[in-house]
Amino acid sequence: MLLLAVELEILNEVTAPDRDKVMLEAAKAFRDRSRCLMTLGRLEAAEGNRKRAEQVEQEARKLAEKPAPPMVENGQIELTNRWTQPVTVLIDGVPHRLEVGEKKLITKPAGPFRYELPATGQSSNGRVEAGKTFGVQIR
């Protein structure tokens, strides 16, 4: 039972799949222990375990009711250097060097981003859509 209590404490620290099922199993163990203690005449300890079982069970039900967090889907940014010299493009401040004629794919979470050409001072904003490719051509 002590080990089960430690596992529950650890579960409180992390988000784990099927956490609610583990907690329901723990609640059952607390209820079983409560019945054993009741049989032994240790009423106060039995009551404590029964209350803990109810508490853990309630927490498990709340977890089971919460919807799963939405998955962050990725898209891509395709950089193409059509200029006559190598260039560096900043994507959200991260430099990406491209040789003449080189293409580079960058995976990015769906959403807005900023791209800049430090050599010219040009900058713009773009938006990556999940499962799609946003093209940036340097000419």
What pLDDT score was predicted for residue 22? 79
Domain check: are 94 and 52 in the same one? Answer: no
What pLDDT score was predicted for residue 12? 56
31-49: per-residue pLDDT in tens?
998 999 999 999 999 999 8
Which of 7-11, 16-20, 23-27, 130-134 comes out lowest in average pLDDT?
A: 7-11
Domain check: are 45 and 82 in the same one? Answer: no
Domain check: are 47 and 99 in the same one? Answer: no
Domain check: are 59 and 82 in the same one? Answer: no
How many domains is the chain partitioned into structurally?
A: 2
Q: What is the mean pLDDT of residues 66-88?
A: 86
Q: What is the mean pLDDT of residues 100-108?
A: 95
Q: What is the extent of the structural domain holding 21?
A: 2-65
Domain of residue 79, CATH code: 2.60.40
- CB-count exposure of residue 87 (10 Å: 0-12, 13-18, 19+): buried
